[in-house]
Amino acid sequence: MTAFGVTFAVSLAVLIGPPSDKECKDHFPRYVGRDVCMKCHQTGATTASDAPHQATPCKTEDMPAHDRAYSALEKSEARHIAALSGIAGPTTESLICLSCHATASDEGRRWTAESFDITLGVQCENCHGAGSFHIKAITSGLASLSLGSVSNIRRGDRNDCKRCHIDRPSHERVLKKGFRLSPDDSAYKTPVNLTVSPDGATLFVVCERSNSVVVIDTASHKKTGEVRVGARPHDAACSPDGSVLYVSNRMDASVSIVSIHSLKVIETIAVGHEPHAVLVDPQSNGLIVLNTANNTVSLVPLAGSDRPRTLTAGQGPWSATIDSERNRTVITNVRPNLGRFRDPPKSEITILDNASGHVATRVLVPGANMLQGVSQIPGTDVSVFTLVRSKNLIPTSRLAQGWVITNGLGVLWPGGRVDQVLLDAPARYFPDPMDLAVSPDGKRAIVVSGGANEAAIVDVDALLELLQNSSDRARRDILPNHLGMSDRFVLRRVRVGRNPRAVCYSPNGEFAYIANALDDTISVLETTNYDIVASIDIGGSTSVTHLRRGERIFHSASKTFGGQFSCRSCHPDGHINGLTFDIEADGIGLHPVDNRTLRGILDTPPFKWEGTNPTLHRQCGPRLAVFFTRLDPLAPDELDALVDYMCTIERPPNRFRKPDGLTNAQRRGKAIFERTTLNNGLSMQPQRRCVTCHTGAYMTTLTKSAVSSNMWFDAHIGVDLEDMFGTDDYGELGNYYFVDVGMEDSPFDIPHLRNIADSPPYLHNGAANTLEEIWTRFNMTNRHGATADLTRQQLNDLIAYLKSL
Amino acid sequence: MTLSHTSSLFRTAALMRRNGVTGVFLALVISVAGSAAAQPLDISDRHILDEWQEHLEKIDRPPFPISASTVDPQTGDTWLATWGSGLVRYSAGRFDVFDQFNSGVAGDLVFDVAVANGRIVAATIGGISAFAPTTESWSVYFPRRQTDTRNVWVHLSVREGTLYATSAIGEVQRYEAENDQWVDSGTVDPPRRGSGLLATKHIRRPRSARSALAIYGPRNRTIQLPGSPSQRAGDPARCDLAAVEIAVSMFGKTQKDRRSGIELVKVSSGYARYGWTLPEDDVVLFALNHRVGAVVGHLSPRLQPTLAEVVGRTGIGFVSTASLDVADRQALFTNPYAFRCYGAEKWGHRMLFDDLLPPDTPGRIAIVRSGAAFGDLHVGWWRDYAQRRGVEIVWEGVCRVESADIKALGKARPDVIVTWSDAESTVAIVDKVRGIGLKCPIVVSPACVRDDIGSLIDAPLGSLVSLDPLWDARAALLPSVEAEFQRAYTMQRFVATPSEHYTLDSFHGADHALYAIEKAGGDQSMVVQVLSKMRDSAYGEKHYEQEHSPPVVSIARFEDGLWVQFEIRAE
């Protein structure tokens, strides 16, 4: 294509719309690299004769730091910065690091020429844009067309420097204040799940921190081996013959197949993202893997030529149990299904028909979220699961006696009826019920409380009897919220290790094993009186580092008011529980705010949706004291530890990002994201451009902005019930009303956009269930980016790009 | 796929006739492909239909009908194409709605759905959408803009893994997955004129729809009786208002039609929604939201053919506006539920005739006389003009047609039937005509429409066409209204469209102006102020470019056979 052709095509495309997938390759310029630029624009050339093609010699001063930017990522300090930034994996592969330490990282290598070398750091095209069209125009003798927006060569603008040259708390902590990870930080095991071999002789302990599975001999209670698997393993399952162990790797989106005989990984298979539970279905000879990030279930055949299937689960499928007699699988989901604004949460139990490989039933559990551990009661078709009842529509100022969060059990009966009971008692709560197991005889169940470091021993018959003898109304309205019922079915509470996360019985039911995540031990309980008979050390570091201490505080309810919940209660895996909460002090239900992820948040101040907390210390200190800890705030050293741990919560790899960079649709979306003109060619005001507010490593300018997203219930707006009946005229949730009546637009924190696809719902109050709704329902004023002129395809492309960030 | 199978056979025969061997091959592919596409909801799936309606009721949503469905063999999920609620996944009792607000689907009116190449493909009013569950991404093919009137893809077929799409006018495209592109695969016979067969599915009117009439119009507009201030201000857009006036005159005084008991629902809110929301989508949503049996359309005339077409297919009666210079009028007449109103002056008759039977095309009309003098006068005019045009009059008789006559009329197979009588006689005639299977448009007396619009809307009468029944009353007002308008506002006249913007949005511009005038109460300086205020409002934001220029709006009217635009500019 000639330069004129290129120019014409680009100009035309601007006017008539986005290029098709086929045209995409030629539509966008590629990065050619510094050396190609410098062939003509050699530094130091003083006359035109020094530079071929009458090119303007580059007058920018030497910036050796830019040249070294990429290699800086290989320095030892980079590892510590990355850890504080929640970056998993090598820094040289992190989009966040590369966005300031390299060029063309966002587009990826698919959009670079062969001459481009990413290791040369911050290159000319980082500020001037990709140069391939410019080169084509020059070599075609059409130099006059080589500059300007058409050829994508921008004039240098020192304002661009601010995208990267800003204060970053992570860098400051490491480079100026000397923060370093302790060697012990990587010496922990953090057992999060366990499973027993079919013969009961071996216990396999899945260790999240050490990326390994520890093997325990159940007779001697000794560690006999360890096998390294993928990143952040979460669950394991044995094959029926006991020869193979399947381990889900949360950060790798994979399952490791381990030979138990040789204790080696013999194969790794790809599944969905953030896989949690993994099960072996002996009847279909297949794996069932719950992909928590994708909200799907993978059915992976272990033999034959069938291809894996992917089924839709609820939101955040977490744990599962197989009912062999009925050939079905019962799956819990950790987040409630997305619903309407201010509707109480409803979470889903997904039931698979293993024979057909399809979802058979979906049962909704009203008022509940964080459905985690699940187990079948042997000999019955009744399942029991753990749950949290978050009263997220009630102001958190009423934080007493279970008015905000209670913890309990759900019972799933044949036919789909669900009962809920609480494990909490007044002044003795059972925060974070994370797992349960039912004894082989079906008489007892053990439930572990990650926040209270306890295990509750449940009399299963008493529990079922209580429910069966209660009226329908009691089962619907009273028992789910009754704090005085747990002593009817809880036989005792046993103190175990720190942050128990998983429990299982031995096949003969004589012992139970509990994985204590934060002291690297396994508690062994005999099952007559349920006393602890042993505590198995699985080999983790015995010292308590600064970060480990913070991790314990994060997962403990001991510091919150009444010990009702922990930080983890709303942030499983450091992420979200999918709810909006009314955390403000007004106490009357105004200003609900969407829960935000904690993954990699250190460099994204200010905090809180209103952007009123400049640091995490402020957010987790005084603010936490007001709302959650009340009269017993964290001590300064505890606060330091908590904040630093929170910073290290890892952000998983972006699941929409391909290894070679942006897809065609994502590349088109990036052009929309960065556009400066509307479809009709008119210039956009800077404040209406996406890239004005969402830029830099985290796609935020780290400030606040008013984009007319006010709605009913926002604190400073108030609610006019009479107006609410006229919502047709005022847009969704009155989004337009405030502009119509001339009320002042209130600014909110500009959120970062990294892994934004994993954090629905959206907007400050969680009113938008999908990214699309941000613009289709809540941008009536066109102030949250000028998007009203976008075509359907353009909006789709924009969304595709946002998901890739 | 109740109709698709039949239509596939029909297409096969047509292609064999037309294209020889290649055509035979293509026709066979399409014919067989039709049977492998989205499966109809059979008896065993009745529970899905019931559950869907129960679900909608539970969440307080309108009774969106289901137009097609298919089962994804990999997951066992059923995908539903709905009218008004986009694409819906039914999975073990859970409905996941993918509409144009919460997803990347191109439109909420979905004609057909198919599973192909691991993707869920939907033929929507906004184009063909494909959803890839594994990557959670959406693609749009053949995106349809608001001004497109023909390019509606209505049918999807999958044959041996290959996806075919068929448009409402018979174009066929084959999808090549390896290149992600569509290949033109010829055409099948377009629907016959007057058959109403514009798509392969037929939508039943929602069971819960009440016998009510709603006015669909722009935001903040209140329609009033002729002579009222808003009516005067709205005169330049009188063509739009004509049908509204019919409705208002029918129901305005009592809010209830005397004979049918039909209720009038006056609704002033309208389509102030996201930029690319297609009016067809919005009208259906509007009608379903208000659970009405009929809608008076009040939109840009260029949208009317497809609007009438798609709205008509919901089973919801649709009263369209007066004749304007639209690209394709034929679609309107093939809609069995659409009424269309013309001015009753002489050119109204002629325009109606030319619309029904375009010049330079052969046509056949039948005339059913009432016997009354006034009726024969009008019918006589049709007879004269038919002779001048060379259009064959294949049958002529009186109202009280006997069975033998009716049989003769049926054998004559006219393209248009003209009758002129009171409502009772007209209904009787139309009943008989439809009873023998004739589906062609029937021109009826405006008096008939005026007196008994309720019966006509509720009766399954097929396409009826009428002249504007209120023309005489309104015509008397015209000179004074126009003079008032000319006196009050500086109007710069020019013909045709000055810019792309105005071409697309002229009626939005008209809305701006009318709104401003209404708010200003006739004070020109106030108009400017109102317009200025509107620039800062959400409504003004839709026309972002106005922020960079003096407040200018344009309005349009039809005059002497041409579109004339007026620009109101702030001084």
Alpha carbon separation from A298 to A242, A273, A280, B220 (Å, rounded): 22, 10, 12, 51
CA nearest to A771 within chain B: B102
Comparison of pLDDT for B479 and A324, the residue scoring more: A324
Q: Which chain A residue has the Cα nearest residue B268?
A: A729
Contact A338, A578 (CB under 8 A): yes
Q: Above 60 in pLDDT, residue B553?
A: no
Q: Which residue of A has its CA nearest to B76?
A: A358
pLDDT digits (tens, 9 = 90+) for A240-285: 999 999 999 999 999 999 999 999 999 999 999 999 999 999 988 9
Look at A107 and B566; give whichever has higher pLDDT: A107
**Chain A contact present for B549, CB below 8 A:** no
Cross-chain Cβ contact B75/A356 below 8 Å:
no
CB contact under 8 A, A776 and B548: no
Show which of residues 620-679 on chain A sit within 8 Å of chain B, judged by CB atoms: 656, 665, 678
Q: What is the ipTM of this complex?
A: 0.92
Give the model confidence (pLDDT) of A455-488 as tens digits.
999 999 999 999 999 999 999 989 999 988 999 9
> Is residue A54 scored above 70 in pLDDT?
no
Chain A residues with CB under 8 Å of B106 CB are 792
Give the model's pLDDT for residue A730: 62
How far is it, in rounded angstroms, from Cα A213 to Cα B306? 63
In chain A, residues 735-754 whose CB comes closer than 8 Å to chain B: 736, 739-740
**Are the C-beta atoms of A616 and A602 separated by less than 8 Å?**
yes
Q: Is the dihedral of CA A320, A324, A326, A328 positive or negative?
A: positive
- A500 Cα distance to chain centroid: 22
What is the nearest CA distance from B292 to chain A, expressed in angstroms?
A: 18
Q: Which residues of A193-224 are buried (b: 16+ CB within 10 A; e: fewer)?
A: bbbbbeebebbbbbbbbbbbbbbbebeebebe
Interface test with chain B among A297, A299, A666, A792, by most B beta carbons within 10 Å: A792
String of b and e for B339-364 (b: at least 16 CB within 10 Å)? bbbbbbeeebbbbbbbbbbeeeeebb
pLDDT at A136: 82
* Domains, chain A, with CATH or none: 3-176 (no CATH), 185-547 (2.130.10.10), 548-647 (1.10.760.10), 664-804 (1.10.760.10)
A358 touches chain B (CB under 8 A): yes
Candidate from B75, B140, B179 with C-beta closest to A796:
B140
- Closest residue in A to B59 (Cα–Cα): A340
Of A140-149, B15-24, B101-110, the range with the highest mean pLDDT is B101-110
Distance from CA of A309 to the nearest CA of B (A): 6
Question: Burial level of A462, CB count in 10 A (0-12/13-18/19+)?
Answer: middle
Q: Which residues of B touch A786 (CB under 8 A)?
A: 544
Q: How confident is the model at residue A120 (pLDDT cuts 50, 70, 90)?
A: very high
Determine the pLDDT at residue A673: 95
**How many Å lie between the alpha carbon of B109 and the closest alpha carbon of chain A?**
15
Tens-place pLDDT, residues A530-567 = 999 999 999 999 999 999 999 999 999 998 888 999 99
B77, B143, B544: residue with CB nearest A678: B544
Of A362, A665, A682, the CB nearest to B545: A682
* Three state DSSP letters for A692-741: HHCCCCCCCCCCEECCCCCCCCCCCCCCCHHHHCCHHHHCHHHCCHHHHC
Rounded CA-CA distance B78/B90 in Å is 5
Q: Which of residues 266-285 of B touch A (CB under 8 A)?
A: 269, 272, 274-276
Minimal C-alpha gap between A644 and chain B (Å):
34
Instruction: Quote the DSSP letter at residue A762.
Output: B
Cβ–Cβ contact B180 with A under 8 A: yes
Cβ neighbours, 10 Å, residue A778: 25
Query: Cα–Cα distance between A420 and B179 in angstroms, integer?
Result: 53
What is the mean pLDDT of the segment spanning A651-679? Answer: 92
Instruction: Scan for tokens 């310029």, then name that residue.
Output: A29
What does the angle CA B117 – CA B121 – CA B124 come to, to the nearest 5 degrees?
165
More confident residue, A54 or A250: A250
What is the crossing angle of helices B423-435 and B446-458, to 10°? Answer: 60
Q: Read off the pLDDT of each residue in A215-224 and give the average, rounded to a whole number.
A: 95
3-state per-residue secondary structure call for A591-656: CCEECCCCCCCCCCCCECCCCCECCHHHHHCHHHHHHHHCCCCCCHHHHHHHHHHHHCCCECCCCC
Show which of residues 4-23 on chain B sit within 8 Å of chain A, judged by CB atoms.
none
Q: Is any Cβ of chain B less than 8 angstroms from the Cβ of A300?
A: no
| A358·B137 Cβ contact <8 A | no
Whether A227 and A264 have beta carbons less than 8 Å apart is answered as yes
Higher pLDDT, A27 or B529: A27
pLDDT at B170 over 90: no
Is the pLDDT at A581 greater than 70? The verdict is yes
Q: How far is A461 from chain B (nearest CA, A)?
A: 31
> Taking a contact as any Cβ pair under 8 Å apart, which residues of chain B between 46 and 65 contact chain A?
59
Tens digit of each residue's pLDDT (9 = 90 or more) over A714-763: 765 555 544 544 445 566 676 666 666 666 678 899 999 999 999 999 99
How far away is chain A from the Cα of B276, in angstroms, using its nearest Cα? Answer: 6
User: In this complex, is the C-beta atom of B498 within 8 Å of any C-beta atom belonging to chain A?
Assistant: no
Q: Does B548 touch chain A (CB under 8 A)?
A: yes
Sort out which chain B residues have CB atoms less than 8 A from A361's CB and list them: 92-93
Asked if B544's CB is within 8 angstroms of A789's CB, the reply is: yes
B538–A359 CB contact, under 8 Å: no
Residue with tokens 């006559």: B405
pLDDT band at A443 (very low <50, low <70, confident <90, very high): very high
The DSSP secondary-structure symbol of B135 reads: T
Q: Tell me: pLDDT of A685 over 70.
A: yes
Contacts of A684 in chain B (CB under 8 A): 544
> Taking residues B195-206, what's their average pLDDT?
33
Mean pLDDT score across all residues of chain B: 58
B249 at A interface, C-beta within 8 A: no
Q: Among all residues of chain B, which has the CA nearest to that of A682?
A: B545
Please name the residue of chain B whose CA is at the shortest distance from the CA of residue A772.
B102
In terms of Cα–Cα distance, which of A11, A680, A794 is closest to B502? A680
Give, for A465, the enclosing helix (H) or strand (E): helix A460-468
Give me the pLDDT at residue B278, please: 62
Of B74, B77, B104, the CB nearest to A772: B104
Q: What is the pLDDT of residue A135?
A: 84
Contact B76/A359, CB-based, under 8 Å? Answer: yes
Place of tokens 């040789």: A262
Q: Give the global pTM.
A: 0.77
The domains of chain B are located at 2-65+106-187, 212-475, 489-569
Please give the structure tokens belonging to residue B552: 């200018």
> What is the amino acid identity at position A790?
L
Q: Do B77 and A312 touch (CB under 8 A)?
A: yes
Residue B496 CA: distances (Å) to CA of A5, A557, B328, B558, B566? 33, 72, 19, 11, 10
Q: Could you tell me the CATH superfamily of domain B212-475? A: Response regulator (3.40.50.2300)
Answer whether B43 touches A (CB < 8 Å). Answer: no
Label residue A576 by pLDDT band (50, 70, 90): very high
Tens-place pLDDT, residues B376-393: 666 777 887 788 788 899
| Chain B residues touching A785 at Cβ < 8 A | none
Number of Cβ within 10 Å of residue B10's Cβ equals 17
Nearest to B276 among A360, A682, A792 (CB): A792
CA dist A289 and A537 (Å) reads 29
Q: Which residue of B has its CA nearest to A308?
A: B74
| Residue B102 token pair | 């919460």
d(CA A37, CA A352): 58
Cβ neighbours of residue A1 closer than 8 Å, sequence gap 6 or more: A9, A26, A136
